[in-house]
Amino acid sequence: MKTIIVKNLTIQFDSFDEGADQHTALNTLDAMNEVLQERFPDISPQIFVNAIDADDIEITPQDDDEELELPDILGTRKL
């Protein structure tokens, strides 16, 4: 058996909750952990949320008209 660790992972998700905050982000990551563990029980995947602090979470409002730009290995793509 080998343990695989992916470092410097960025996860983005949308929240339509006007009161979204760091707790919203951490609760969502906990829910993602549950789904990962249910979907892949043989490999026990998990997102380590205990190492995440306030500086690691960025919450920004986005205009509906604004295009989202995500960096990728080939440059920048627009979604």
Q: Residue 38's pLDDT is what? A: 95
Does residue 64 fall inside a structural domain? no
User: In whole angstroms, what is the distance from residue 44 CA to residue 75 CA?
Assistant: 33
Q: Are 46 and 37 in contact (CB under 8 A)?
A: yes
Does residue 9 fall inside a structural domain? yes
Domain count, the chain: 1
Predicted confidence (pLDDT) per residue in 52-68, tens digit = 888 888 888 776 555 55
Does residue 7 fall inside a structural domain? yes
User: In whole angstroms, what is the distance from residue 4 CA to residue 72 CA?
Assistant: 22
Q: Residue 41's pLDDT is what? A: 92
| pTM, two decimal places | 0.64
| Residue % of the chain over a pLDDT of 70 | 77
Does residue 71 fall inside a structural domain? no
Does residue 19 fall inside a structural domain? yes
Task: Note down the domain range covering 46.
Answer: 1-57
